[in-house]
Structure 1
Amino acid sequence: PMGAFKGYILRANDFFTRLALSEKALPKELNDIVIVAMDNQSLKQEGMRWPWSRQIFADLVKKINEGKPKAIFLDFAFLNKSADEAADSLFAEELRKAGNVILAGYFEEKEFTKPYELFTASARGVGFVNKKPETSDSMVVHRAKVVSSEKEEKGYSAEINTLALARGIPLSSIRYDGNRVILSPSLSFAVDADGTIPINYAFPYQRFANISAHKVLNAHSGFNPSVFKDKIVLVGITALITHDTHMTPLGRLPGIYINAYTMLMFLSGNFTMAFPFWLGKVILFICVFALGLMSFQLKEIYSAIAFLCFMFTASVAYLVLRVSTHFTMDIFSLLFLPGASYVTGAICKYAKLITESQALKRMVIFEPSTATYASRYFRVSVQHALTVAGKSPEHFFCLARINDFERLKQGSAHRLAPITKMLSEAILANAGKKSLIARAQEGEFVFCVWNAKRGVIEKSLLRLCRELEKREFIIDKEPLNLSLKIAAIDFPRDNIKRYDDLVSTCRMLLERISQTPNEVNPAIFDPERDKIIVSGDPAGEAQLLPEDGLGYVRMDVEERAKELEAAVASLTEQQKKIEEHYFHTMHSLVVALEKKDPYTAGHSERVGFYATELAKGMGLPPQEIDAVNKAAYLHDIGKIGLPDKILHKNERLTEDEFMYIKSHLADGAKILEGLPFYEQVVQYILYHHERYDGKGYPYGLSGEMIPVGAQIIAISDAFDAMTTGRGYNEPLGVVRAIEELKKCSGTQFNPACVKVFVELLEGKKIYALTKAPLKPHG
């Protein structure tokens, strides 16, 4: 997909090819090929100086043929006849006798150049040996040309012809259908449109059987030609003087080895495999998209780990495929493009972060509705200038007050925001775009002009005041006249250390303008006449402006968090006070109710005491103990609406009167409902007459359906009624009351609550508010 990176793509594949060599198993067909090499040793022998005479080649063919090989390929271009015609004739004769020799030709400018016609006629066939570099700049041979294209003279490669000869297939029967080279119905090879096929460099070239030509020709070497029996013999030059060397994924190799790799690939069927074009593109797209999205979405450390894992996994997976299946693909693109996508995602992420941080900073420091900077940012910026500025005055701090602001506020309160914005824009237009402006308090602006001369500021501020007096502002289609009083002071000065000193001094100057009829507006600080007003608490000085872009945002968030915490604490305190006031009001009503009946006087306090102690004894959380306490004190507040004749009746109640009594629970809940801080209290009051066995009222709840606080109040209410007496009932002693509680445990009361309450009483951790002695019954 990336033509500009073709060289890198090939080098990446070459790198993985070399890595895979040491792990691959050797094909058994390797034993079917023997290379006879004109090596350095052969060329050093007496009488064998290069170039060789045709007689030596004749002797070599004769020696090889004595071993009865299946086929012989001579990787030499015998283009012309030599000066020794006898030697040529002898060589032609040996070619004819052998009957199994393929000679080499080559294509040059689309013309097939064949050997000398005598040799062509004597040999079994001729095949071209053009090695095809992948690109002109890399010159690395990755592919073998096996069939000529339509624009070239018809022919097949030396490897195809040699293979056909070795398999006993007539060369004339070889054909090409546009997609495959067909040697026989059972033997064919798929090729690309240009007639080439990828070469599988499956193992180091040293694994080929290699015999020196000198050893074959030397009668005294003891060489046995039988090593060539039924083999395919490839004859070529490997000496250093040769020009027939080419760059391959395994380094520079003589051409005869490239022929050998191609021949072995045809013999073994170990062709390189690849994904279908569309599948490769889909995989590449998914990886590119996933890496880019991951880089953009995940945290830096997680995305970096995921990226490294992807690179490692892809590399290892490709290496395994290369070793096990001779698989090949564009691994460079698979690693480079997702990597580039990852980097692009990271760049986009940081670009977005920078953009958002700037927008966030702008949002924090600037108020668009009034066209002013936030007061805290202005304060910090001025304090920073006070701290880091040089000795001589460089800047001017100005305080502007809107004249007749209170009248303006009363008549145009809804238009204060647009008025503020218009005035701030007018001030900035006069002071310059690099100036800072903020609101100090209602009706006041503060602005700072950096690096200004006193004379320039005086003229500028005077011009601003005059322009505002003449200008008519239109707000909501109504004309409005606005004017300012302005005070200014240059800084830094030795006596000014804090922002508040500047504000106080300018306010003093404004007061002088207001109180002195002939005072010039604006008023510029004059050290001969005016003095610095030092105010403020040194502990409350503004912090210095951070150097990094988001430093102020961080500072502002921290300050706002502190302000929010203080506000929440204040609201919480106010809520507590409201709760207490409301509780005391409600409790006062209950106390007033109880004072009407001597039998119930003090009942709510006693129930509140018992319930609170029982809640503590049961280990309830503090908030729940507090709710139980309040509910116990107010549990009878609903009786306010009961008739006195029922409330004070000493005899047993009738059924209708008892229905009135039951209604006090709902009435009490209605009095307190709607208050979020009394939500638990309402439930405890509403359900404190429910029974553990489900026979209580108002809803007949049972067991754990009844809130624990309501169960605690039920026990406390019953215990107080038993020990103090109520209506027609006589008071019981504490011991008798404990027995009644135990008797009703599991029916009227929660057994766990009764158990704890009795333990507290008998352990004297609480006491009964009665004069009845705590002693054993009997």
Structure 2
Amino acid sequence: MVRKTACKKTGRQLKSLSDKFVALQASEKHCIEIQESLRCAHQQLLDIIEFFPDAILVIDGNKRVIAWNRELEEMTGIKKKDILGKGEYSYSVPFYGTRRPILIDLITTPNQRIEGTYNYIRREGEVLYAEVFIQSLYGGRGAYLWIKAAPLYDIKGEMAGAIESIRDITLRKKAEKELELLNEELTRSNKELKQMALRDPHTGLYNHRYLIEVLDAEFERSRRYNSPLSLMMIDLDYFRSINDVYGHQFGDKVLRKFAVFLRKTVRQYDIVVRYGGEEFAVLFPGTGRARAIYMAQRLLDDINLQDFGSHKNSIKLKVSVAVASFPEDKVIKSADLIEVTDHMLNKAKECGGNRVYSTLDVSAPKPLPALNGGGVSRMRILQEKLQKLNKSANQSLIEAIFAFAKTIELKDHYTGTHVERTVHYATSIGSKLRLPREEVLLVRQAAILHDLGKIGVSETILQKSSRLTSLEFEALRRHPKIGADIIRPIRLLHGIIPLILYHHERWDGTGYPFGLKGENIPVGARIIAIADVYQALISNRPYRKAFSKAKALQMIKAGAGSQFDPRIVEAFLDVIREEKKKT
């Protein structure tokens, strides 16, 4: 009985053990199936990483490389068999040539110095984004990279490593650069097109459209800051006849030459515009009416001295000039400034042209004494004589010059005797300065005629023994311009016009008629200035007795650097010393 019971118990135990063994076998099989499934999943993940279009780097918690895909092999030239399992920043060597932290390491350990090596870096939560150029990649060809790094966690939620995807964006960067260059080129082209739309293609000056735009802005600025603004308009008189006689090609050349001349003559910040056809305009920011009229008159005088055209054909231009100003002319908007200037220009043309006209001329001032006492009639008679003289092919230039000088002597005996000595000193100074023979000849001719303009000054002023009034002195100051106007029709004498026109300018810029300064005064005019003043000082005048030569020389020396060119003063003193030795 006992034995039978023991057998039954043993049988149950064996069956239990058998059941457990079967269960264990099933469990082991399940584990094998799970392991196989995990292995397959792992392999699939490795395959995905391997064939992923971006380069992929994966490191474990000990910073050992556990994934290095085909794209990364191609990028760095390092095979996975040579890098898998390696740590101690070995994965940075193919990129930077040294062991150092890279973006994937910054996931766990921020490093500002390393972050500074990237062109761009951004953190979004636990994910890092960066952009960098690395020269060593692709065998030294280099590449721009867009990099993304993120942490990897185990099933317990603990960080087990990190993954970094690296995308080659070189082609994109190249396309972006090309697009940037195209945009720059487009911007530049648009700017050039805008400039072309605002410029006259024939002369290169700004056009009417630009003037309207800039005038609105400048007028508003002048009104806001209470600063003056002036507009000058210039119309080439009888220009259609130039086209008719010489042809439109020549007329176009004259317009281009005039545009260049105009740009050079005005100030750098003045705005020069071809207003249309043969009309030009100049905008003078920060310039009041008095200064604008002075500049316009100076421009007119300079134009009258210039030749325009080509070497084969050149002509003198006559122009009408008008000036209007804010606030003096009480204009309230920019369009009014144009309207007033245009109206004044028509007035100038109605008066015969070749003059400057402004609202001040609407009620004409009384004539200066310079034109009283028969001055105008004598000027007209003399100009008529000179025009006839210019047509006489047989009369020599020198004879003409001396004929003019004698004309002056008949009016003012002092002027006649004064001229002879002035000519002597002027030519001696020119020779002492070793000027070319042709220039010395011009100085001689100009010295003979330097006071020719006194023919247009009243005799009562020239012979007055008392102090001149301001009006009388103003009339006398006009004689250089009168002289230049008289001989302007004679082409052979054009070379001496600047010497006559500027011989009363001073080295320090305080002379007349234009206030030229220093080297801007022609050297011939500077020479005549010294010879003229010295001869005047040692001569008796209606209002004073002559100074001694010693006193006159002392006064000339004192004027060096202010009234006179110091170099020419020294040359003059040498001439005087040499003459003393000869006597």
Shorter-normalised TM-score: what interval?
A: 0.3 to 0.5
Higher RCO, 1 or 2 (CA under 8 Å, sep at least 6)? Answer: 1
TM-score (norm 2): 0.35
Give 1 or 2 for the bigger CA radius of gyration.
1
Higher helix proportion, which one?
2
